[in-house]
Structure 1
């Protein structure tokens, strides 16, 4: 693709994604490594790809003024992309980039952002087995319905201590769990008398290409005058991969239509495992919840780089940077005074956008632990000619709510802190600690006994959710964003 006065007609979609584990949020599928024997043809191919990367990064990257003047075009594309980034540093660049990444296969990138991947169906959190240990366990957070893991009998709360007969350790967990293997034999452990004990039980699972539905669970609880709607929503995705529709958004609409018909007057939104996704789906959900909102009400605003901003304004006007609420007949905001959001450090990006965007309009009470803190958004860029197969996801904007607030780069601290325990209750169970606390705040203990503070002190190493390509990003569809004139 050559540089022209017009914004290049790339396929663009955008996710504000929060990534909890910095190393985990990078390119898991980036397979290109520098070699000592680079051939002339490889060097030429790299330069072609790298020129395409550089042109687009100079146009779109939020920190485009930080890009080196003369980067090395002979590097492997993944290394070249990294060389352009204004990389975060707690001391040198505290405002730097933690989230931009690139993948060798743009089709895989697109699929993963829509919830399709090769997976067993297990989502898990990794912990050290004990303080100071090098042994690792994987605690199953949830199991995708109808996935290979679900068919094998896995359930939330299962604890994996071995993979293919090998104990999981700090030195091998990445190769055992994230190598892209297909066949797994998982050895399980369990808590006995407050101690973790290995068992003889194993479950075998074969990973397959699987489309995950982000709408995981919905329920209604009734206690006196309180009718409580509960939704577990795990990614902001409007539709399955390769669909141009809004099937998943429509499913959320149908749930809120039922909430409205049933007279729901309290809402618990469970985003504890939601790393982000499409801003269009975030706006759809927020528009079903917001109180006293209209299509003139601002959900959030965007700030792009200073080079591109005047040209976008010239072509599209100021409204390009504004996401307003939608007119949703299923909106239950008229019956709500507040919304409870269940959070963990895996709650990111478009999930945090819900918290930040709704706060000017109603009370948002967060229960759980501090969210990740991603207030910037990225777009997916691929080569429209098809000659370059890579896809990249650079940060291109920062988000602000209607009151100009964007001060959550360190995450939202919970209004009420509740940690998940090592022994997990099923999602939707009224004794599950985070849900139980929300019900306690709503009902005054009429529906369920208040949960005792439970939690554990095992050091966390990250989660499978945070390694997803769609994890921790906000996506905004920009398919029409093609004609804004750029400077020469």
Structure 2
């Protein structure tokens, strides 16, 4: 196996990969050259590399070729299979998007049926990026919309209306009528997508009820800092929030991951180190398991400690005042969010409130051609994750301790009427009267099931990414 440099996890670092020794060969098509590069890297890095086809068809288009290599999940035939690897034509765009930079209006939303089995849809704004076109247009969490460019949303057209083209789009707002149905309002808002860097640290507050001092943080993605920056701006922002919480003497903590699809393991380790009860830099947060080909190479390069991610020593850690942490989840909660839940469990009670999580206990890396000859980027699954007790039994997601859906009437972050936060507060405050005091009733809205969430469209698709240590 020959070692070459590759790009890993949005950072330009040296990695190990294999390639075949080249001899004089007939002229090949561009696709075949790219496909050979893809196959060489998959042989080295792919977690299921022992399942790769021995004689792949190099004549296929690159996307089709990549798909033909995967040990894809099948509930019956391959229940241990791959649900998360993907390829992208531009490695540069892939790396930027994984760091939260993308061309967007800044509007995140869910698309919901008006009635069960119906084809007509409406949208609900889940959150808005600050300083975005959506924010400038006046959108806020909980708003409804019914049309885009004058066309009513349906099962067959919603995706094209919302995602086709970068030109200006006009959204028609919605409002609740007397029967609880979302209907058109007379409000329209215009937005044109632009390149934005999303800050994942979205909201924090202190909630005080009697002797309870409850820290609440909304965190949307595990990103250490802006794309291309060496400064861990967002990790430091979390450090500052927890320093404030510590100074305020919090004795309960609620972390909101309902829209968090994952991200950098380094940021998950940082956040876990701010929360964990009694953890030190000697304690293991997570353990990585790679395939049999790359494992000895990584051990030779980085030593046996490479496979264990240990907690950091953080002066801002609030774990000394906590016996538990509440985590708010949805079906979109994935990857590094689940890694944090799993990694904290050996050290403290983790109370999950919301819906069953995605179930992703595997990690990926970003592979690209350091010589820039090949423009593609691949994001293969390369490892499986365990906690310090060698537990990794959440491929079907974490079942919530208290099941709650946020519904179709959304409240501002920190508002106790939110069903997820309200349930956590009820469990903390302990009485039915307390629950009613913080808000329990919501308006009745006629609606069917969700069809789509823009959160699940985000780059990463529920992945978590690894960095190698610098030497």
> Once structures 1 and 2 are overlaid, which stretch shifts more, 304-313 or 66-75?
304-313
Q: Does 1 or 2 have the higher relative contact order (CA < 8 Å, sep 6+)?
A: 1
> Once structures 1 and 2 are overlaid, which stretch shifts more, 173-182 or 429-438?
173-182
Q: 2:452 aligns with which of 462, 475, 478?
A: 462
Q: Provide the C-alpha distance between the structure 1 equivalents of 2:150 and 2:441, rounded to a whole number of angstroms.
A: 36
Q: Give the corresponding residue for 2:2.
A: 5
Q: 1:92 aligns with which of 36, 54, 77?
A: 77
In the TM superposition, what whole-angstrom CA distance separates every residue of 1:225-267 from its partner, at most 9, and x where no partner exists? Answer: 2111000000000000110110110000000000011111110
The total of aligned residue pairs comes to 452
* TM-aligned CA distance change 1:362 to 1:456, over 3 Å: farther
Q: Give the corresponding residue for 1:136.
A: 121
In the TM superposition, what whole-angstrom CA distance separates every residue of 1:285-306 from its partner, at most 9, and x where no partner exists? Answer: 0000000111111101011112
Q: Provide the C-alpha distance between the structure 2 equivalents of 1:462 and 1:475, rounded to a whole number of angstroms.
A: 25
- Calculate the TM-score normalised by the size of structure 1: 0.89
Is the contact between residue 148 and residue 172 of structure 2 (CA under 8 Å) also seen in structure 1? yes
Is the contact between residue 9 and residue 467 of structure 2 (CA under 8 Å) also seen in structure 1? yes
How far is 1:457 from its partner? 6.0
How far is 1:450 from its partner? 5.2
Is the contact between residue 112 and residue 447 of structure 2 (CA under 8 Å) also seen in structure 1? no
Question: Is the counterpart of residue 266 in structure 1 residue 252 in structure 2?
Answer: yes
Q: Give the corresponding residue for 2:440.
A: 451
SS at the partner of 2:285?
A: strand
In the TM superposition, what whole-angstrom CA distance separates every residue of 1:40-59 from its partner, at most 9, and x where no partner exists? Answer: 99x61111111110100000
Q: Give the corresponding residue for 1:386.
A: 372
Is the contact between residue 11 and residue 478 of structure 1 (CA under 8 Å) also seen in structure 2? no
Q: Give the corresponding residue for 1:21.
A: none
Q: Give the corresponding residue for 1:155.
A: 140
Question: Is the counterpart of residue 102 in structure 1 residue 91 in structure 2?
Answer: no
Q: Give the corresponding residue for 2:281.
A: 295
Alignment of 1:74-473 (within 5 A): 74-192=59-177, 193-445=179-431, 446=434, 448-449=437-438, 451-452=440-441, 458-473=448-463
* TM-aligned CA distance change 1:479 to 1:170, over 3 Å: farther
- Calculate the TM-score normalised by the size of structure 2: 0.92
Task: Tell me how large the CA RMSD over aligned residues is.
Answer: 1.9
How far is 1:455 from its partner? 8.8
Q: Provide the C-alpha distance between the structure 1 equivalents of 2:468 and 2:39, rounded to a whole number of angstroms.
A: 20
How far is 1:14 from its partner? 7.8
How far is 1:479 from its partner? 6.7
SS at the partner of 2:44?
A: helix
Q: Give the corresponding residue for 1:51.
A: 36
Q: Provide the C-alpha distance between the structure 2 equivalents of 1:407 and 1:234, rounded to a whole number of angstroms.
A: 24
In the TM superposition, what whole-angstrom CA distance separates every residue of 1:165-206 from its partner, at most 9, and x where no partner exists? Answer: 111111111211122433110112222222222223211111
Is the contact between residue 131 and residue 458 of structure 1 (CA under 8 Å) also seen in structure 2? yes
Q: Provide the C-alpha distance between the structure 1 equivalents of 2:409 and 2:301, rounded to a whole number of angstroms.
A: 55
Q: Provide the C-alpha distance between the structure 1 equivalents of 2:71 and 2:282, rounded to a whole number of angstroms.
A: 36
* TM-aligned CA distance change 1:479 to 1:10, over 3 Å: farther
Q: Provide the C-alpha distance between the structure 1 equivalents of 2:441 and 2:350, rounded to a whole number of angstroms.
A: 23
How far is 1:461 from its partner? 1.8
How far is 1:314 from its partner? 3.0
In the TM superposition, what whole-angstrom CA distance separates every residue of 1:296-328 from its partner, at most 9, and x where no partner exists? Answer: 111010111122222322332221110000010
Question: Is the counterpart of residue 72 in structure 1 residue 57 in structure 2?
Answer: yes
Q: Give the corresponding residue for 1:27.
A: none
In the TM superposition, what whole-angstrom CA distance separates every residue of 1:408-446 from its partner, at most 9, and x where no partner exists? Answer: 111111111111121111111122221111112112354
Is the contact between residue 416 and residue 439 of structure 2 (CA under 8 Å) also seen in structure 1? no
Q: Provide the C-alpha distance between the structure 2 equivalents of 1:455 and 1:64, rounded to a whole number of angstroms.
A: 49
Q: Provide the C-alpha distance between the structure 2 equivalents of 1:472 and 1:462, rounded to a whole number of angstroms.
A: 15
SS at the partner of 1:118?
A: strand
How far is 1:161 from its partner? 1.6
**Structure 1 unaligned runs (5+)?**
16-39, 482-488
Is the contact between residue 362 and residue 383 of structure 2 (CA under 8 Å) also seen in structure 1? yes
* TM-aligned CA distance change 1:456 to 1:99, over 3 Å: farther
